[in-house]
């Protein structure tokens, strides 16, 4: 199978660690094994941080014998990120405390008083749900949409601490 290098846009083998055209590192999701745009970006499917494909391949080999016969210790699992407790829009000076099942809306929902002056947010815009180690936002047919880390929310999307939730294609809220 083939994939596209996010640096030079050329087709490369899907198990590549580096692009054979431009030499760029390939970054993939450690859970889904889906390639992504690069360092510091999140997986579009599950929301996990992308990792260097070469480092992931090295850690998969960890625990096996090294070339000199010594045992290579396994790479420790990274700590799970803390669950965010709020969404903060610094440009509008608005903080929304995250509540399971809450409706985000300009007219309806528990945040209506804070969001009422923001014209681009729909009366009923999106819902929040807690799911394991993350939160999930689902657009409920808003006029101007919802996105997580620049990925449009056509289906419910997870978000974690540090992710950017864009409401109404205008207001950026950071999960803290």
Ordered per-residue pLDDT tens for the chain, 176 residues: 677 777 777 777 877 787 777 777 888 887 777 777 777 788 777 778 888 877 776 665 555 444 455 444 555 666 666 899 999 999 999 999 999 999 999 999 999 999 999 999 999 999 999 998 899 999 999 999 999 999 999 999 999 999 999 999 899 999 99
* CB-CB contact of 110 with 126 (8 Å): no
Quote the tokens at residue 111: 């945040």
Cβ neighbours of residue 68 under 8 Å, at least 6 residues apart? none
d(CA 56, CA 130): 29
Q: At which residue do the structure tokens 């640096």 appear? A: 7
Rounded to an integer, what distance in angstroms lies between the CA atom of residue 169 and that of residue 110?
Answer: 21
């Amino acid at each position: 199978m083939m994939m596209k290098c996010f640096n030079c846009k050329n087709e490369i083998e899907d198990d590549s660690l580096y692009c054979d055209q431009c030499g760029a590192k390939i970054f993939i999701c450690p859970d889904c094994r889906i390639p992504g745009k690069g360092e510091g970006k999140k997986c579009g499917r599950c929301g996990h941080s992308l990792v260097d494909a070469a480092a992931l391949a090295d850690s998969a080999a960890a625990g096996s014998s090294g070339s000199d016969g010594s045992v290579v210790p396994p790479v420790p699992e990274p700590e799970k990120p803390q669950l965010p407790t709020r969404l903060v829009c610094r440009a509008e000076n608005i903080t929304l405390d995250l509540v399971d099942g809450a409706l985000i809306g300009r007219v309806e929902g528990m945040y209506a008083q804070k969001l009422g002056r923001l014209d681009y947010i729909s009366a009923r815009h999106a819902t929040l749900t807690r799911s394991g180690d993350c939160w999930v936002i689902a657009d409920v047919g808003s006029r101007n949409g919802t996105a997580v880390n620049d990925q449009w929310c056509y289906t419910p999307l997870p978000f974690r601490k540090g992710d950017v939730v864009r409401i109404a294609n205008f207001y950026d809220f950071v999960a803290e």
